[in-house]
């Protein structure tokens, strides 16, 4: 933006000449350009208000990415401790489905304990990312947006594709920042030729997306795209193939 020109009439309200440093004085020239400050990057703790599976997903992403990351050599919570908290939370979720009020209270306690550990790690990541977005995201945490413009989503990366129950494949992708869900598509591969693609469903948990109703002994090709961002969808992931059992 071009500097804004400003002028002055040289006299105050009483008709007296201005001193150069008089309050409210402007001069013939241009206003100095303001240097914008680089916004301070912050870890997003929005997951704390999301459903249980989202908290599990965020914790899993941190376990997969923070530890052994050279940018974060001394996390205040060990990988073993975080994994134990995730396991206890997951077990409490399963127990809640079989139990009553007491089981629900226990699940909530385990949830809060896990969130507390994630907040400790998030604070550590903020302090050690050198205000670099790529470094912050490499921890497995998401960042609070520094502007109101929606961003294009990254193309998902399939981490694993394996068998679940009979006639089921389970796909896991690396969590995509700012994605609110993931869409799976698949097709049968026969003699090296890919058949028609069909939807495998929409999922919010990037770590476990089961695609069922498949034929045992058949080779399938699977792709995933993230949902959200400024265009609604990311590009489809690179394809991955696996035989249903």
pLDDT band at 6 (very low <50, low <70, confident <90, very high): very low
Domains: count for the chain: 2
pLDDT band at 65 (very low <50, low <70, confident <90, very high): very high
In a domain, 16, yes or no: no
- Rounded average pLDDT over 154-180: 92
In a domain, 39, yes or no: no
Q: What is the pLDDT at residue 143?
A: 87
Task: State the residue range of the domain holding 51.
Answer: 46-137
Please tell me the distance from the alpha carbon of residue 28 to that of residue 6, in angstroms, as a whole number. Answer: 6
The model's pLDDT over 184-200, given as tens digits with 9 standing for 90+, comes to 999 999 999 999 999 99
Q: Identify whether the C-beta of residue 121 lies closer than 8 Å to the C-beta of residue 128.
A: no
pLDDT band at 78 (very low <50, low <70, confident <90, very high): very high
Question: What pairing do the DSSP bridges indicate for beta strands 193-194 and 169-173?
Answer: unpaired
The residue from 86, 105, 137 where one domain ends is: 137
Q: Identify whether the C-beta of residue 183 lies closer than 8 Å to the C-beta of residue 199.
A: yes
Tell me the CATH number at 169. Answer: 2.60.40.10
Poorest-confidence range of 51-55, 68-72, 76-80?
51-55
pLDDT band at 224 (very low <50, low <70, confident <90, very high): very high
- Rounded average pLDDT over 31-49: 73
Are residues 125 and 55 both part of a single domain?
Answer: yes
Q: Identify whether the C-beta of residue 163 lies closer than 8 Å to the C-beta of residue 245.
A: yes
Are residues 168 and 97 both part of a single domain?
Answer: no
As a whole number, the mean pLDDT across the chain is: 85
Please tell me the distance from the alpha carbon of residue 115 to that of residue 126, in angstroms, as a whole number. Answer: 16
DSSP string, 16-34: PBPPTT-TT---SEEPPPP
Phi, psi (degrees; rounded to nearest 5) at 108: -65, -40
In a domain, 23, yes or no: no
In a domain, 22, yes or no: no
Q: Identify whether the C-beta of residue 122 lies closer than 8 Å to the C-beta of residue 41.
A: no
Please tell me the distance from the alpha carbon of residue 156 to that of residue 154, in angstroms, as a whole number. Answer: 6
């Amino acid at each position: 933006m071009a500097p804004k020109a400003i002028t002055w009439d040289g006299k105050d309200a009483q008709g007296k000449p201005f001193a150069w440093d008089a309050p409210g004085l402007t001069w013939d020239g241009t206003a100095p350009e303001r240097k914008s400050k680089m916004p301070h990057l912050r870890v997003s703790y929005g997951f704390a208000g999301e459903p249980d599976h989202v908290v599990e997903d965020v914790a899993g992403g941190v376990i997969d990415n923070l530890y052994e990351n050279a940018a974060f050599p001394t996390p205040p919570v060990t990988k073993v401790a975080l994994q134990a908290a995730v396991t206890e939370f997951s077990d409490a979720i399963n127990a809640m489905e079989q139990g009553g009020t007491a089981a629900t209270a226990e699940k909530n306690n385990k949830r809060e304990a896990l969130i507390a550990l994630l907040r400790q790690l998030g604070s550590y990541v903020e302090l050690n990312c050198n205000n670099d977005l790529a470094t912050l995201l490499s921890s497995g945490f998401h960042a609070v947006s520094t502007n109101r413009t929606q961003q294009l989503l990254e193309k998902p990366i399939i981490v694993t594709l394996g068998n679940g129950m009979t006639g089921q494949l389970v796909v896991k992708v690396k969590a995509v920042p700012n994605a609110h869900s993931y869409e799976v598509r698949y097709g049968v591969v026969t003699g090296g030729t890919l058949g028609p693609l069909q939807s495998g469903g929409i999922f919010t948990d990037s770590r476990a997306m089961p695609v069922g109703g498949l034929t045992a002994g058949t080779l399938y090709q699977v792709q995933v795209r993230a949902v959200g961002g400024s265009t609604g969808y990311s590009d489809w992931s690179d394809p991955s193939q696996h035989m249903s059992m």
